[in-house]
Amino acid sequence: MPSATIKIFLVRGDPKRLRTAELSNWTGKAVAGPRSEFDDILAREESNSSGIYFLTGADTESGRPAIYIGEAENIRDRIKAHLAKDFWNQILFFVSKDENLTKAHIRYLEGKLIEQAKDAGRAIVINGQNSGARLPESDRHDIEIFLEKINQLLPVLGVELLVPAAAAAIGTSEQTKLICEIKGIRAEGRMTPNGFVVLKDSQAVHTERASSHKWPWAMNMRRRLKDEGILQAQIDRLIFTTDAEFTSPSAAAAVINGGHANGLLAWKTKEGKTLKEIESE
């Protein structure tokens, strides 16, 4: 993505409450805030426009992050219809300041964003179907730029659920790939802006260490990854069926080792240099 200057206005002076965001040289505008300020958010003039909106929270059954992505010719009217849904606690919507978003434009954006959310796999996507829309080539070019700006602002406003789990830091190359090995088990991964990603086809030990019952985080995380199909059991090991992101190298190493691990020492380059040594250089 190109570099950008972001202007965020904290309406109440609190970064967790009602706020707006704009990018330099862009006609779009974002409005975000908690469900507790629902009335104030929808009282704003921007909510009377057409646009794309996000409702985020947690799934009531699994506790996993959940997101609903919708489009509306009138944001205010459409979002009022979602008050019956109790999973969401944050609202965020995007409109165009020049009021140039048509029904086809916002349907196209909705389709693309739902697809991104499902591909990212970070949250349960509440939407039943992906509507989408076809656009003429010239319109599609303009709306793809609008989509790019939405993706720049979403993480800044606290919504990272559309960011691919394996998003790599700028400059990532084969030289930064790291290896974790234990008892014939081998996993590969790398640092990311959000933590650490273990790459697809990496391996993890089949059985947890006895100590994992005393500190059960790794055991619980392995169970969740199995339930989600990310870790798949083979005869004597577990296999990552897709890239999986963790909050830290230690969290990733603990899942691979079946118990507590120091990620700064467990992850090494192919030459044997530890992550701790790399970071101290």
Last residue of a domain, one of 106, 124, 156: 156
| Distance in angstroms (rounded) separating the CA atoms of residues 34 and 55 | 10
The SS3 assignment for 203 reads: strand
Domain that holds residue 118: 6-156
Bridge partners, residue 93, by sequence: 31, 53
Shared domain check, 187 and 112: no
Total number of domains in the chain: 2
| Distance in angstroms (rounded) separating the CA atoms of residues 112 and 143 | 10
pLDDT of residue 138: 81
Distances (CA, A) of 245 to 101, 215, 248: 35, 21, 9
Shared domain check, 205 and 136: no
pLDDT of residue 173: 44
Cα–Cα nearest to 143, from 115, 91, 92, 107: 107
Phi, psi of 8 (to 5 degrees): -110, 130
Judge whether 166 lies within some domain. Answer: no
Shared domain check, 223 and 103: no
pLDDT of residue 245: 87
Shared domain check, 187 and 152: no
Sequence-distant (≥ 6) Cβ neighbours of residue 217 within 8 angstroms: 254
Shared domain check, 76 and 123: yes
Local mean pLDDT, 10-residue blocks, the chain (281 residues): 88 93 93 94 94 92 88 93 90 91 91 90 80 78 92 92 63 68 93 86 92 83 90 94 90 93 92 88 72
In total, the chain counts a number of residues equal to 281
Shared domain check, 136 and 42: yes
Region for 232 from its dihedrals, namely left if φ exceeds 0, alpha if ψ lies in -120 to 50, beta otherwise: beta
Phi, psi of 94 (to 5 degrees): -120, 135
Judge whether 162 lies within some domain. Answer: no
Judge whether 169 lies within some domain. Answer: no
In the sheet that holds 65-72, the strands lie side by side as 6-10, 19-23, 28-34, 88-96, 51-58, 65-72, 124-125
Cα–Cα nearest to 19, from 46, 55, 1, 50: 46
DSSP secondary structure letters along 62-94 = T--EEEEEEEESSHHHHHHTTTT--SEEEEEEE
pLDDT of residue 165: 63
Judge whether 168 lies within some domain. Answer: no
Judge whether 1 lies within some domain. Answer: no
| Distance in angstroms (rounded) separating the CA atoms of residues 107 and 69 | 11
Bridge partners, residue 196, by sequence: 191, 246
The answer to whether 185 and 227 have CB atoms below 8 angstroms apart is: no
* Two structure tokens written together for 22: 């704009």
pLDDT of residue 130: 65
Judge whether 241 lies within some domain. Answer: yes
Phi, psi of 259 (to 5 degrees): 170, 180
* Two structure tokens written together for 88: 């969401």
Cα–Cα nearest to 240, from 232, 251, 248: 232
Sequence-distant (≥ 6) Cβ neighbours of residue 193 within 8 angstroms: 167, 169
| Distance in angstroms (rounded) separating the CA atoms of residues 237 and 187 | 11
Shared domain check, 202 and 148: no
